């Protein structure tokens, strides 16, 4: 599939996806969401980490496309919401880690996109918010769910009810992002983090992501049992033998994703 709104660049197993809709500050319309879905379905096996950012220097994603949503009826609104929610869930459960490099506005669906990624880092210019109630809708791409999990019910309710926009330092303070960098450093830092991840055993990283995601909504006993099962599965991989042999031999491990 040819992409009109996605810029993709893969170097040494690290793929960067930049959403590019300059006329609307990278707002997500249904074509972009379908392109993202297709892209996520066809990520090459050699990719170890995905970085998602916004094209240009002003916006990560300024939300879902308001002009597309303006005249939707209830059923169409449901379907548009589900399209975005399904794509974001695909990101959340992708078998590789996903880093959001938030370079500017991350509003509404943009904040929700960032929250579907495993890790968020931001430029000092980034701004986050869930302004949906000011448009007569609730956050529709799983924002009520993920923001509440991420920053706690009290702050999520304040952000969602007021629609207030917060700066990067406040996002850092409430735990919405892990780190804040100068704009020109952001992609270098995202790549450095991706390289650190990519140097580790790919199956172990994949299982760790699966553990964290699955265990999040489980009771303690079930969560611990799930991790125990995944821990055992690691010992069926060649990379576990390689990782431990390399350590004991005082050499660097050469993982083969096997």
Question: Which residues are marked as active site?
Answer: 112, 132
**Of the listed pieces 1-9, 75-83, 221-229, 233-241, which binds ligand CO8 according to CB under 6 A?**
75-83
Rounded to the nearest whole angstrom, what is the least distance from the CB of residue 131 to ligand CO8 in the complex?
4
User: Is there binding between residue 108 and ligand CO8 (CB under 6 A)?
Assistant: yes
Out of 13, 54, 109, 243, which residue is the one contacting ligand CO8 (CB under 6 A)? 109
Do residues 163 and 132 make contact, with C-beta atoms less than 8 angstroms apart?
yes
- Evaluate whether 49 touches 14 at the Cβ level (below 8 Å): yes
* 135 to 164: interface string for ligand CO8, x by CB under 6 A: x-x-xxx-----------------------
Please state, as a whole number, how many other Cβ atoms lie within 10 Å of the Cβ of residue 200.
16
Is residue 88 near ligand CO8 by the rule CB under 6 A?
A: no
Rule CB under 6 A: say whether 64 interacts with ligand CO8: yes
43: left (phi over 0), alpha (psi -120 to 50) or beta: beta
Q: What per-residue string of b and e applies to 134-168 under the rule 16 or more CB within 10 Å gives b?
A: eeebebbbbbbebbbebbeeebbeebbeebebbeb
- Contacting range for ligand CO8; rule: CB under 6 A; set: 8-16, 23-31, 206-214, 215-223: 23-31
Residues that bind ligand CO8 (CB under 6 A): 24-25, 27, 62-67, 69, 77, 80-81, 84, 105, 107-109, 131-132, 135, 137, 139-141
């Amino acid at each position: 599939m040819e992409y009109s709104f996605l810029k993709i660049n893969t170097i040494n197993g690290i793929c960067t996806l930049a959403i590019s809709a300059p006329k609307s500050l990278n707002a997500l319309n249904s074509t972009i969401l379908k392109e993202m879905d297709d892209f996520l379905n066809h990520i090459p096996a050699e990719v170890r980490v995905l970085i998602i950012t916004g094209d240009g220097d002003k916006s990560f994603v300024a939300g879902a496309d308001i002009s597309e949503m303006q005249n939707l009826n209830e059923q169409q609104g449901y379907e548009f919401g589900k399209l975005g929610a399904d794509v974001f869930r695909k990101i959340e459960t992708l078998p590789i880690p996903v880093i959001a490099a938030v370079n500017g506005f991350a509003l509404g669906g943009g904040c929700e996109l960032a929250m579907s990624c495993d890790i968020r880092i931001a430029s000092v210019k980034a701004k986050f918010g869930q302004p949906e109630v000011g448009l007569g809708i609730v956050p529709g791409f799983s924002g009520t769910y993920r923001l509440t999990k991420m920053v706690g019910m009290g702050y999520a309710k304040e952000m969602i009810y007021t629609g207030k926009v917060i700066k990067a330092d406040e996002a850092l303070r409430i735990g919405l992002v892990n780190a804040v960098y100068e704009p020109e450093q952001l992609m270098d830092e995202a790549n450095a983090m991706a390289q650190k991840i990519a140097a580790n055993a790919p199956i172990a990283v994949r299982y760790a992501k699966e553990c964290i995601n699955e265990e999040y909504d489980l009771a303690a006993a079930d969560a611990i049992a799930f991790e125990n099962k995944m821990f055992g599965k690691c010992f069926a991989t060649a990379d576990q033998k390689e990782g431990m042999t390399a350590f004991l031999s005082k050499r660097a491990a050469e993982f083969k994703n096997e």
